[in-house]
Structure formats: structure tokens, C-alpha cells
Amino acid sequence: MAEEPLLVKLIRCPACEQLAPLRQANPRLYTVLGRESDRHVTGYRWLHGITTRVQPHHYRMWQCPKCLFADLAERVDPADPGLDAARQAFRDISIEKRMVLDSLRELVAPSPELDPQGAIAIHLAGLLVTSLAPPGRTVDHSRLGLIALRLAWLYREQEGPALRAEPGAEPPAPLAEATERLIQVLAEADSAVQDLRQLAEAPSEETVGGPCRPLVELVAVRLEALQTEVAALQMAMVQAGAPTAPAEPDASSGLVRALQALTPLWPDLPRDERQSLRLALEAFEYSYQYEDVGEHAEHGAAQLNLILDLLIRLGELERALDWTLQISKQAGDTVADLQRRMAEAKATQTLSGNDATAIQRRIAALNLSQRRAGERRREILELLLARDRDRIQDLLAQTPQLPLQERLQALRAAGIQDGVLALLTPELGEPAKEGAGWIRGLFRPR
């Protein structure tokens, strides 16, 4: 018997304790083609020739059809103590919020397959339920941020235009970005392989059991990233070459009107991608600072990188720059602590082979995170330079005869970041470029 795209099982609702169906995409029947930097899946490939309209990430949120309680599908568990505050707040829900839940449920079509409107409605319901608890530590901000982030993905899919590559035109931005990411990952993979080759040319018991092992792990990580980026590029190429679909009636217009009508009952209701990203950012920042996520190195680093990506997407480049420094510091401090603990264990002969492998693996992952933070810092500085290009050009044009340090000081006084000045300094310090038009050439896109 052929497997179905959707798996259905009965679960007990954490709020009303009644049995209700939980539908999820069958993970054995599809593969992910690629992800954006904030983890949004850009496409799926269904196996065995299956043709379906099922979008797996539409089913990441579950709602009880009886009492309308909603939560992340992967975390629905009546025994979860983290739901205690949400359950109690849900029992005491106000009439206004109950009306919002009823109205949102009306947007969910009575069909086993969720359409985009139904997915957005259920995610909004989950967001409302999760935020019902009083402000402070009773709200699970990590959960809240994840729901808001997934809601932003759904809005992005509704707002994003179709892609089409015209003959002789520049490649669409997603295709160009996918190509650049693949080139970068290829360079990183090649660098890791070269490092491993150097150690392998002179093998010894020390290198095989020590530096060689984390390098093998790093190569494996690079190859996995390479596979992901190849799939993302293939997907971007398919999208770029696909003909634009004929115009259809705007199915989202009804959703927009419905959400506008609910705003008086729920003033903080996020109605677009940007509002949802803003909510996700605030929740993740609170979670990192006040919840225990920051105490776990790998999870904390992943949280920091996601916060960084959201800041960039929202255009808060200066804050993003500060976060890159925090990522590097956290990774560096954790690596130093791990190395200290490993040295102490070796000195007392209490370090097992498995423990050494686990520590080396964590160190390799943290070093990779630190290196990526440096790469993102350079990326952010270039974005800042592009953003402030006109203002910098005007300021430089006012001081063509001043010494280099005075020109830099004038830019610094105008609020230009030191990192941006570092990008400018090599160009400013070359007298040969002091002729007419050199400033304009400095800012010409490369």
C-alpha cells in the first residue's frame, strides 16, 4: 500500500484533554531542496513521483478543533510543564481573545490539506495562545519566537513575486545569492580538505587521535553544507527559468480584510512578514538573555546567529554588528573553557577517548561559528558602506585636501563605523587616486 503525503494520528489536547487529529507531512516521502539564512525552506522534492499540494512547514502548528488551543506540532504534550502557564491563561481567556480565535478558525478550510490562509490562521492562533500568559518569565519566549518566525515565512511566501529570467537580463537576486553562497561553501570545503591533507601527509598517533579527528568532522560539516547549497542553487535555477504563472485573483485579499477586522480585538496582531520578524527578534533576544538557552554552547550560538540574521533582514545593521562581536566572544570563551577542561582532565588521566572526541567536535563547531561571525561582520560592514554611500561621498568631497587621518576623523564624527572606515582606508591612502572622479570610482559597485 502506497504511503500518503500526510500522516494522521490522534493526540490528547493539552487544554481540553479531548482526542483530536494531528496531521504532519510524511518525512519519509520528501527532501528539502534548500533553506534561506533564517531557516525558511525554499522548496521540497517529493519522492516516488508523488504530486501533491502539501507544504510540510504548513503543518508545524497544531490546533485543537474543539477548544481551539494551539501549539507547535512537535511540542504538543499534555505532560509538558512548560505549557502550564499557557494552559491556565487559556482557561481564563477573555471574551475578546476568544472571538479572535473563533474568527481565525473560520479562515481554515474544512479540508485535510491546509492552504496558505489556513496555515497563517493556525499560526496566529498559536501565537495568541502562547502570548496569553502574563508578561515575564511565565511566557516561553523561545516558543513564541519560533512561532512568530514561522508565521513570517508564511507571509513571505504570500508576498514574494514570481521569478522569471528574461533573455540577456541579469540573474534574479535569489539565483545570484545562491551562486555566491555555493562559491563560498566550495572555498570553505576546499580549505578544510587542504588542512586535512597536510595532516594526513605526515600521520602519527598524535595527529590521528588529536587534530585530525575534528578536521574530519569539519570536512563532513562542509560537505553537508555543500549538498544543501547545491540543492538551493538547483531550486533557484528552476524558479528563474520557470514561466510566470498567469494572474489569478488575489486569494490573500480576504485574509488581509479579516486580519484588519480583528485588529481592534487584538491590537498587536502581526499582519505581515516584517511585523512577525520583529516579534520573533524580540522573543529570541529575551530568550537568550533571560532563559537558559545561552548556557548551552551550540544552541546558544545557533540562537545568536538567528538573531543576527533577523537584525540584518530588519535593517538594524549597527545592532547586527554588535551581535557579531558577541558571537565571536561567546565562541572564543567557550573554546578556551573546553580546552582548559580537557587539559585538566588529561593531567589527571580522567579524559576518556569518547569525551575527547566530543570536546574536539564541540571546539570545531564553535571555531566554525566564530569564523562565520567574522564573515558576517564583513558582510554587514559592506552593507553599511552601501547604505551610507551617498553621505560618505558628500563628506569626502568637502575635505579633499585634508590629511588622511583628519578625513577619517571627520567621517567618524559623522557616525560612520570604524569597520567601514577600515574598508575605505586603503582607497583613501593611495595618492594616485586623488584625481578627478576617484571618489565616485570608490563607490562603484564591484
* Domain boundaries, given as residue ranges, for the chain: 6-159, 167-244, 314-387, 389-442
Q: At what angle do helices 212-241 and 353-387 cross, to 10 degrees?
A: 40
Distance CA 278, CA 293 (A): 20
Q: Which residues of the chain have pLDDT under 50?
A: 161-173, 207-208, 238-239, 241-249, 294-295, 430-446
Half-sphere exposure in the Cβ direction for 429 (13 Å, CA): 8
Beta-strand relationship, 70-72 and 61-63: antiparallel
Q: How many CB atoms lie within 10 A of CB 257?
A: 10
Quick one: pLDDT at residue 275? 96
Distance CA 33, CA 296 (A): 29
Rg (C-alpha) for the chain, rounded Å, is: 26
Quick one: pLDDT at residue 266? 94
Maximum distance among all alpha carbons in the chain?
81
